Structure 1
Amino acid sequence: MKIRILGRDLEVSEIGFGCMGMSHAYGTVSTQKEAEELIEKAIDEGCTFFDTAEIYGTTEDPHHNEKLLGEVLRPYRNKIVLASKCGIRFDETATTVNKPLIPDGRPETIKASIEGSLMRLNTDHLDLYYIHRIDMTVPIEETAGAMKELMEQGKITHWGLSEASEEIIRRAHKVCPVTAIQNRYSMMYRDYEKLFPVLEELKIGFVAFSPLANGLLTAAYHSHGEFEKPGDYRSAMPQFTEEGLKENNEFMSWMKVIAEEKNVTPAQISLAWMLAKKPYIVPIPGTRKVNRLEENMESADIKLTQDEVKSIDEMLAHMPMSQVFGGSKIQKK
């Protein structure tokens, strides 16, 4: 797999691995053996970029994902780029399956969080550390200043922002150069394409989470009943309601036709389209299945021309489709 450059100098594989689903939001938690098989396959396929966060876990073990990766990635640590995130917590008083998020971008919170993440991940530094959501009660300059201190201390080598706007990106970048933003992006959620000009101006990378619209673009799901498991966020996502699935019938049929023309899968077309859009976009699809991970990683071998990308964009602009999950509610402190 080829590499891409995030920011000034962070080299990562064209496709990364979003590890959240092994611990959080999809109803089933991976065992260490299952995680080892996934990571081994990802490494074999040329993946060097692994993404987690301090809040990816379960009610019983809120930091499950970082702990799991700390064990499983230990043999590969010097060969990979490891990213994690800080700056939010769940509203544990909520009864919804996807509990609201409470941002906390205070410098003291960031400095405490990095210590916990480094311990759980069995490492002395992170290659990329994001503020997970923007805390509008704390000036982003203060958050950026804390990240700059962590860089000076060698605890992180690069930093980024998740779900950030142009204004926030510009203000943060003045204090400490931003390497990457990590925002939701897929064929069904293209809102952040408006950020491409500023990212190109400031030489900031775009790490795309939920690049397969939480799995819908795999074309593998056909009934809302498939998600009625405790802790499965898809049970509350609009694209997976029975109505949403019906609304997406034409879209998914079109995706299958496009994929068949290339002798690939809809998921692979989705990721190949994203890679062809901009050279600084790096999708981080997640999965708990080895065969699905292999399918995702092999998307890097599929090349779409700019004419093909333009044709797909035009179709997406006119294709009827459902709303897509836009993230958990942000709640004030």
Structure 2
Amino acid sequence: MAKVGRIKLGSQGLEVSAQGLGCMNMSGAHGTPKPEPDMIALVHHAIQSGITHLDTTDIYGPHTNEILLGKALKGALRNKVELASKFGVSFADGKADILGDPAYVRAACEASLKRLEVDCIDLYYQHRVDTHVPIEVTVGKLKKLVEEGKVKYIGLSEASASTIRIAHAVHPIAAVQLEWSLWARDVEEDIIPTCRELGIGIVAYSPLGRGFFSSGAKLVESFPENDYRKRLPRFYPENMEHNKIIFERVNEMATRKGCTPSQLALAWVHHQGNDVCPIPGTTRIENLNQNIGALSVKLTPEEMAELESFVSTDAIKGERSVLGLATYKDADTPPLSSWKAAA
């Protein structure tokens, strides 16, 4: 099995495994939650294999994913991992609210600490940006949590370039989490350059196109009824009929390279730079081992260009996220003066 190296994430001292593990699906995002003993065994296998950057949030489950990781990391294992969690999305009465006010930030953090059974969260992200609260206010509270020893490093997820800049001026941002894969490259225009200018690490979620690069159009046939991906426009039947051509081209190149299409797609993310940590999710040990194998896939500049030629702007049909779901494209916050005036 390939060796999982270490990278520096951001310029504040955070070091993580070069590949992480997204834990969302363990708690049923793609259908029924998986058996707890199996998922604990998967987490332990990941750590033994060198994957120590574990990514969760309070909304997975909700809450049950953090509880699962708390059980999995009891004892000495806690000190062997870089544990990331998030706050900012709250479900009540079937409605999702995005919250970033100081009282909510503190309450969310303390609740996560309790569920994770830890004294400190290594990397704590704002999961989605509350566009009603100045980012300075939200990050100001996160800064206090750092000072209190409840959080080591601060992150943002799906934040706009301007929001990242403002936040970083209040307290250094260690990492920005964003969707980045062969078929989700819009972040390369503005967000990635901003992170690199400011010395902020990049954590790529859904680096396998939410599973698309594992099996292409066949993936849709296996979706259970309650799989949230059914609501993603990119997976609609009329769009998938077009998008499956991308998978076929990646698969053909992977055959030439002697790897799987998912390894090839993941290797492409790894080749973006040593400031990028992809966090593919899985619930199977064999898939986790395969993802680690992507670290051994080496791509020449010509092969990178060939891969990218498969996914030109007009090659993909359908939006990458659920319609109406907040992304970095709608993540600017009001000026701080408006908050002071209202306070």
Q: TM-score with structure 2 length normalisation?
A: 0.89
After TM superposition, list the pairs within 5 Å mapping 1:208-223 onto structure 2.
208-219=204-215, 221-222=217-218
After TM superposition, list the pairs within 5 Å mapping 1:248-327 onto structure 2.
248-317=243-312, 320-327=315-322
Deviation at 1:11, TM superposition (A): 0.7
Identity of aligned residues (%): 39
Distance in 2, matches of 1:34 and 1:90, equals: 27
Name the counterpart of 1:172. Answer: 167
Deviation at 1:255, TM superposition (A): 0.7
Give 5+ residue unaligned stretches, structure 2.
331-343
Q: 1:248-295 deviations in whole A, cap 9, x for unaligned?
A: 232111011111111111111111101101221111111111111111
Q: 1:82-124 deviations in whole A, cap 9, x for unaligned?
A: 0000011135335xxxxxx321000111111111111110110
Name the counterpart of 2:7. Answer: 4
Give 5+ residue unaligned stretches, structure 1.
95-100
**Aligned: 1:239 with 2:240:** no
CA contact (8 A) 2:233 2:322 kept: no
Name the counterpart of 2:44. Answer: 40
Deviation at 1:226, TM superposition (A): 2.1
SS in 2 for 1:144: helix
Distance in 1, matches of 2:314 and 2:261, equals: 16
Deviation at 1:312, TM superposition (A): 2.0
312-321 vs 285-294, which moves further: 312-321
Q: 1:208-234 deviations in whole A, cap 9, x for unaligned?
A: 11111111111265164422423x102
After TM superposition, list the pairs within 5 Å mapping 1:1-333 onto structure 2.
1-8=4-11, 9-57=13-61, 62-75=62-75, 76-90=77-91, 92-93=93-94, 101-194=96-189, 195-219=191-215, 221-222=217-218, 224-230=220-226, 232-317=227-312, 320-327=315-322, 329-330=324-325
Distance in 2, matches of 1:148 and 1:120, equals: 21
Distance in 1, matches of 2:216 and 2:45, equals: 21
Deviation at 1:315, TM superposition (A): 3.2
CA contact (8 A) 1:103 1:330 kept: no
SS in 2 for 1:213: coil
Aligned residues: 321
**Aligned residue type for 1:202:** L
Q: TM-score with structure 1 length normalisation?
A: 0.91
Distance in 2, matches of 1:170 and 1:309, equals: 30
CA contact (8 A) 2:139 2:167 kept: yes
Name the Cα RMSD after superposition.
1.8
Distance in 1, matches of 2:33 and 2:217, equals: 20
Distance in 1, matches of 2:322 and 2:313, equals: 24
CA contact (8 A) 1:22 1:30 kept: yes
194-203 vs 261-270, which moves further: 194-203
